[in-house]
Amino acid sequence: MANLQNSELIDVEQHFWDLLNDYGMTNDQALNVIKEKHGSIGYDHALSLINEQDDEEQRYQKGA
């Protein structure tokens, strides 16, 4: 079961980054697509990816 969940989250991540990088969507647009295709768990996971990236950018800016 855990392997299936991990696989699904990996699919969500790949789909999310594809939407941003390959299709040029904004975060909000990509989140809406993820929510439609992957449901609320996928949406929450994608949102956590955005928050992690924001945290990393803030740490980098403070160190620069």
Q: How far apart are CA 43 and CA 13, in angstroms?
A: 10
- Give yes or no for residue 4 having a pLDDT over 90: no
Cβ atoms of 27 and 57 closer than 8 Å: no
Question: What is residue 60's predicted lDDT score, i.e. its pLDDT?
Answer: 87
| The pair of three-digit structure tokens given for residue 42, joined into one six-digit string | 């996928």
Rounded CA-CA distance 58/60 in Å is 5
Mean pLDDT value across residues 37-56: 95
Q: pTM of the entire structure?
A: 0.83
What's residue 5's pLDDT?
A: 84
**pLDDT, mean of residues 28-46:** 97
Q: Is 8 left (phi over 0), alpha (psi -120 to 50) or beta?
A: alpha
Q: Where are the domains of the chain?
A: 2-63
